[in-house]
Amino acid sequence: MSRPSLLVLSFSPIADDARVLKQVRLFADRYDVTTCGYGPAPEGVVRHYEVPAELLAWRKDPRWLLARQYSRVYWGNAAVAYARSVLPVGEFDAVLADDVDTVPLALSLQPRRGVHADLHEYAPGQNSELPRWRWFVAPYIRWICRRFVSRAASVTTVGQGIAERYTRELGFPVGVVTNAAPYADLAPGEVGSPIRLVHSGNAQRNRHLEVMIDGVEQSTTPVTLDLLLMPNDEAYRDELRARCAGSTRVRVLDPVPYRDLMRTLNGYDVGVFVLPPVNINYEWTLPNKFFDYVQARLGVIVGPSPEMAREVEARGFGAVTADFTAAGFAAVLDELSPAAVGRWRQASATNARELSAEVQSQGWTDAVERLLHEPS
């Protein structure tokens, strides 16, 4: 008996995209999963349609964007046009469409049982700190949401605040599947002296990573900070390296492969992330790294970002700064003690199973099973 067919559609390098890769792994054992996206095929799929790297999904024809000819903007995009030319129409039972820019394409493929849309952020607010985005791109994204995402059988996103905003502003119900990491069978280690802080993530200028660097330098507590940074903006990463060149406390290091990340993080004591809310998605961030820190059995220090702060305060595995400044970060560091950090690490261990992808991904399982197995 043939298994149901599921297309996972994402304009990202799927084999390296943590959220999309979790979807593939979740469903590959029970359905015939096909993928379409950039880069090579992830393991476990029956077929992969690779979008050529030079066809950029984010590129929008400014002539049609300014003229608000949004249908031409979307269908004229090179990545969309290529995927539309190679993907079969009417052959999949369901499509799991990642992010808003895949949803119109997913609907056009006419899957027999429908489309589930997974939105990785609040798309109309992606770069809301930039006037050009707010004036020209955000209306286009809202058009996709109202015209196409609203027609998906079900929708999920990364956190409750963003889900509520989608429903309030765009009118469709949205469930939540967090960016939880797979469960890691690790134990909390002994707290170091000095206390070892770590931040892993992207080197992006609008994240203002200087806040954490300067906070560590200002602290009276013996702490160190390693930043494991992706080269998203190499010039910015070089600036941070130069800033820390004479420091005995802070180092800017290269990232480690994700397969090695948990064990690498487990060698530290506290994961940190203070992210000034320069746009809507930064305000409501609940990122991969937050869950990575928990799986690595670390304490967690975050800024007063509502989603992260709520989890930290409710579960007792860290502290929340009073604001998004270096002084606010330093004030929390000044109160650190090895005993407190040890308790945080134990609390992470207590909460690791509940905050794992195996538990948190149930929203995807429920949505896709409703598509494939409930009566039409």
**Residue 333 above 80 pLDDT?**
yes
Given the structure tokens 């059995």, which residue do they identify? 297
Does 12 map to a domain?
yes
**Runs of H (alpha helix) within 148-203:** 160-170
DSSP-derived 3-state class of residue 261: helix
Predicted TM-score (pTM) of the model is 0.91
pLDDT band at 376 (very low <50, low <70, confident <90, very high): low
Mean pLDDT of the chain: 95
Asked, for residue 224, whether it belongs to a domain, the answer is: yes
Average pLDDT over residues 36-62: 96
Q: 124 and 43, same structural domain?
A: yes
CA distance 173 to 192: 46
Burial of 229 from C-beta contacts in 10 A (0-12 / 13-18 / 19+):
buried
Q: How far apart are CA 360 and CA 145, in angstroms?
A: 25
Q: Any idea what the CATH number is for the domain that residue 24 is in?
A: 3.40.50.2000
First to last CA, the chain: 21
Average pLDDT score over residue span 275-296: 95
Same domain, 144 and 122: yes
Question: What pLDDT, on the 0 to 100 scale, is given for residue 2?
Answer: 83
In a domain, 184, yes or no: no
| 153 in a structural domain | yes
- Check whether residue 207 and residue 307 sit in a common domain: yes
- Are 79 and 128 in the same domain? yes
> What is the band of 257 on the pLDDT scale with cuts at 50, 70, 90?
confident
Instruction: Please indicate, yes or no, whether residues 209 and 111 belong to a single structural domain of this protein.
Output: no
Between 258-266 and 288-295, two packed helices, what is the crossing angle to 10 degrees?
A: 50
Contact 275, 285 (CB under 8 A): yes
Query: How would residue 39 be classed by pLDDT, with cut points 50, 70 and 90?
Result: very high
- Do 347 and 204 share a structural domain? yes
Segment 338-346 mean pLDDT: 98
In a domain, 189, yes or no: no
Q: Is residue 300 part of a domain?
A: yes
Burial (CB count within 10 angstroms: exposed 0-12, middle 13-18, buried 19+), residue 53:
exposed
| Same domain, residue pair 263 and 292 | yes
C-alpha 123/C-alpha 280 separation (Å) is 9
Count of structural domains within the chain = 2
Q: How confident is the model at residue 258 (pLDDT cuts 50, 70, 90)?
A: confident
Structural domain range at position 235: 195-351
What is the percent of the chain where pLDDT is above 70? 99
Average pLDDT over residues 354-360: 96
| Residues contacting 144, CB < 8 A, separation 6+ | 70, 74, 100, 101, 103, 104, 123
Query: Whose structure tokens read 């013996």?
Result: 222
Look up residue 303 and give its amino acid: G
State residue 365's pLDDT score. Answer: 96
Question: Given a cut of 80, is residue 262 above it in pLDDT?
Answer: yes
Beta carbons within 8 Å of 366's beta carbon, 6+ residues apart: none
322 and 224 part of one domain: yes
Answer yes or no: do 221 and 301 share one domain.
yes
* Six-digit token string for 304: 């007063």
pLDDT of 27: 97
Q: Do residues 244 and 250 lie in contact, with contact meaning Cβ atoms separated by under 8 Å?
A: yes
Within-domain flag for 142: yes
Query: Is position 167 within any domain?
Result: yes
Between CA 284 and CA 97 the distance in angstroms is: 22
What is the tens place of the pLDDT at every residue in 196-233?
A: 999 999 999 999 999 999 999 999 999 999 999 998 89
The residue-averaged pLDDT of 239-264 equals 94
Q: What is the mean pLDDT of residues 15-29?
A: 93
Residue 1 DSSP label:
-
Each residue of 64-100: pLDDT tens digit? Answer: 999 999 999 999 999 999 999 999 999 999 999 999 9
333, 230: one domain: yes
Task: Please check whether residues 78 and 11 belong to one and the same domain.
Answer: yes
> Both 305 and 267 in a single domain?
yes
Whether 48 and 41 have beta carbons less than 8 Å apart is answered as yes
pLDDT of res. 38: 97
pLDDT score of 134 more than 90: no
Tokens 């046009």 map to which residue?
Answer: 81
Residue 34: pLDDT band (50, 70, 90) is very high
| 41 exposure class (CB count in 10 Å sphere: 0-12, 13-18, 19+) | middle
